[in-house]
Amino acid sequence: MLGHLLPYADTVFNHRQVSTLLEEVPRLPAGVLTDEFARELIELGQVVLDGQSLYLWFLGD
């Protein structure tokens, strides 16, 4: 899912896409994400899965 992020445009993941993203994060090779970013990503993704937000937004440039 991270491969779908656009560096110069906004990218929005819905509930199902966030679910897939969170499954992928632990399987990423070392060094792809910093530990801090991975923790934040999991935390924000969980907010979507808990129904507190409908989408996870990544804001480009």
Q: Write down the pLDDT at residue 8.
A: 94
CA dihedral 26, 32, 37, 43 (to 10 degrees): -20
pLDDT average, residue stretch 50-57: 93
Could you give the CA distance from residue 33 to residue 26 in angstroms, rounded to a whole number? 10
Domain map of the chain by residue range?
A: 2-58
Q: Is the pLDDT of residue 61 over 90?
A: no
Note the pLDDT tens digit of each residue in 7-44: 899 999 999 999 999 999 999 999 999 999 999 999 99
Query: Which are the contacts of 40, defined by CB distance < 8 A and separation ≥ 6?
Result: none
